[in-house]
C-alpha cells in the first residue's frame, strides 16, 4: 500500500506541475477579472484587508474589556506617570543629541515599559479569559437545567 500511495502521490504532483503554473510574488499583487469581467482585488490586498479587520476587532475587544472591567487598579496612574517620564526622557535625549543615536537610558526605559506592558496585557487577558470561562459555565449550567 505504501508503494501505491507513493505512486499516486507522485502522479498527482506531476499532473499538477504540468497543468498549473507556480505561484510567484507578482501573482500576489496582480489584480484580475473573473469570468463575468468583474475586477477582483489582489491576494495581497485581500490579506491586507483581512489583517486590518482583525486589528480593528482586537482594538474593539480591548475597548469593551476596558469598559466592562470591574477590577480597579492603580495602573492607570502609573501609565500616566510612565508616559510623562517617557516623554521627558525622549525630549531630553532629542535636545541633547539631535543627530546622535538614542541613549542607553532611553532604550533601557523603553525596554522596561515594554516588559511592563507585556505583563499587564497578559494579566488583563488572563482575567478576561477567566470571566469568559465563568460566564460560559453559567450558560452551560442554565442550558443543562432546561
CA dist., res. 24 & res. 49, Å (int)? 20
CB distance 51 to 35 below 8 Å: no
Please report where in the chains the cell 499587564 appears, as a residue: 120
C-alpha cell at 90: 525622549
- pLDDT band, residue 70 (cuts 50/70/90): low
Summarize pLDDT for 23-52 with one digit per residue, the tens: 676 766 677 777 777 777 777 778 888 889
State the pLDDT at residue 9: 93
pTM over cut 0.75 = no
Summarize pLDDT for 132-143 with one digit per residue, the tens: 989 898 888 888
For 32, the enclosing helix (H) or strand (E) is: strand 32-33
Nearest CA to 86 out of 62, 55, 117, 63 is that of 117
Summarize pLDDT for 9-21 with one digit per residue, the tens: 999 999 988 888 7
State the pLDDT at residue 28: 66
Amino acid at each position: 500500500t505504501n508503494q501505491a500511495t507513493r505512486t499516486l502521490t507522485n502522479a498527482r504532483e506531476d499532473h499538477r506541475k504540468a497543468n498549473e503554473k507556480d505561484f510567484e510574488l507578482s501573482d500576489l499583487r496582480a489584480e484580475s477579472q473573473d469570468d463575468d469581467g468583474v475586477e477582483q482585488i489582489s491576494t495581497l490586498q485581500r490579506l491586507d484587508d483581512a489583517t486590518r479587520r482583525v486589528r480593528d476587532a482586537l482594538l474593539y475587544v480591548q475597548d469593551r474589556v476596558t469598559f466592562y472591567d470591574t477590577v480597579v487598579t492603580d495602573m492607570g496612574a502609573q501609565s500616566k506617570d510612565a508616559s510623562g517620564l517617557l516623554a521627558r526622557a525622549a525630549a531630553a535625549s532629542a535636545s541633547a543629541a539631535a543627530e546622535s543615536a538614542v541613549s542607553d537610558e532611553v532604550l533601557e526605559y523603553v525596554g522596561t515599559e515594554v516588559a511592563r506592558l507585556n505583563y499587564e496585557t497578559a494579566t488583563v487577558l488572563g482575567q478576561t479569559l477567566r470571566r469568559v470561562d465563568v460566564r460560559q459555565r453559567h450558560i452551560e449550567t442554565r442550558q443543562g437545567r432546561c
